[in-house]
Chain A
Amino acid sequence: GENVEQHPSTLSVQEGDSAVIKCTYSDSASNYFPWYKQELGKRPQLIIDIRSNVGEKKDQRIAVTLNKTAKHFSLHITETQPEDSAVYFCATYGNKLVFGAGTILRVKS
C-alpha cells in the first residue's frame, strides 16, 4: 500500500535560518503532493502543494521541490520566523491522501 516517510521528526533552527523537511513515497501513481501546517490544538492547514507535472513551486518564503523519478519531495522554508513553529505534514495523493508522520519545527529567537 501507499507509504510516506518524513524526515526529520524534529527540527530546531535559529530565527532567520532555513529549514528543510524531506519526504519519500512508495506509490508511483501519486500525482499530488500537499504540505500541511498544524499548530498545537488546531486544524491542519494547507501551506503549499505541487502536482506531478511540476518540479518546483515557490510561494514567498516557502518552496516545494519534487523528484518523481526518485519519489521524493521537500519543503523549504527560508528566513524562518518564530510563528513558523508548528508540526508540518507532507502528504501524497494516488487514490487517497496519505500523510507522513510529521516534523516538529521549532524556530528559536
Chain B
Amino acid sequence: GAGVSQSPRYKVAKRGQDVALRCDPISGHVSLFWYQQALGQGPEFLTYFQNEAQLDKSGLPSDRFFAERPEGSVSTLKIQRTQQEDSAVYLCASSPLRGLDTEAFFGQGTRLTVV
C-alpha cells in the first residue's frame, strides 16, 4: 500500500484480555517504531526496530507489553492482561533509513479501549 497501515482501527477489550495490534509499514522501510498516545497528549515512545532487530524497548511500560517484527516487515504489538490505563491510541511509524533523524511516516493508529 501507499502508507503505513494499522489494524484494527478500533479495539475494545475487557480488562484482563490479551490484544494484538498489527502494523504494516511502507514496503522497504528499514525502521519501525511504536508509540502510545493518550488522549490530549503527545505520542510516547514505546519501542524501535531496525529490520527484524528490536534495538530499543525502553519505552515499554511493563512486561505485559511485547513487540515483534520477525521478518523485518510487519510488526505486532501485544499487550497481555490489559488494564484500563492501557487505553490509548497506539501509533506505528516507519522510516526508510536507520534511526529517527529523518521523516517518520505514521499509521492512523489503533484506538484501544479497555473496559
Q: Which of A34, A42, A89, A96 contacts B103 (CB 8 A)?
A: A34
Q: Is B91 located at the chain interface by the 8 A CB criterion?
A: yes
List A residues 51-109 near B (Cβ within 8 Å). 51, 89, 91, 93, 95-102
Query: 17 more A-B contacts (CB under 8 A) besides A43-B91, A99-B42?
Result: A31-B101, A32-B101, A43-B107, A46-B104, A49-B103, A91-B42, A93-B100, A93-B101, A95-B56, A96-B45, A96-B48, A96-B58, A97-B33, A97-B45, A97-B104, A99-B43, A100-B42
List B residues 67-115 near A (Cβ within 8 Å). 91, 99-109
CA distance A100 to B42 in the complex (A): 6
> Which residue of chain A has its CB nearest to the CB of B106?
A43
Are A99 and B44 interface neighbours, CB within 8 A?
Answer: yes
B54 smallest CB distance to A (angstroms): 13
> Which residue of chain A has its CB nearest to the CB of B101?
A32
B84 smallest CB distance to A (angstroms): 21
Q: Which residues of chain B have C-beta atoms less than 8 A from A44's C-beta?
A: 43, 91, 106
> Which residue of chain A has its CB nearest to the CB of B42?
A99
Are B43 and A89 interface neighbours, CB within 8 A?
Answer: yes
CA distance A89 to B104 in the complex (A): 13
The 4 closest A-B pairs by CB, nearest first: A99-B42, A32-B101, A43-B106, A97-B100
Question: What is the interface of chain A mostly: helix, strand, loop, or mixed?
Answer: strand
Interface size for chain A: under 10, 10 to 19, 20 to 34, or 35 or more residues? 20 to 34
Q: Is A45 located at the chain interface by the 8 A CB criterion?
A: yes
B8 smallest CB distance to A (angstroms): 15
Are A102 and B41 interface neighbours, CB within 8 A?
Answer: yes
Hey, what's the 0/1 contact readout for B20-44 against A, CB within 8 Å counting as 1? 0000000000000101000011111
Q: Which of A6, A42, A91, A99 contacts B108 (CB 8 A)?
A: A42
List A residues 15-50 near B (Cβ within 8 Å). 31-32, 34, 36, 42-46, 49
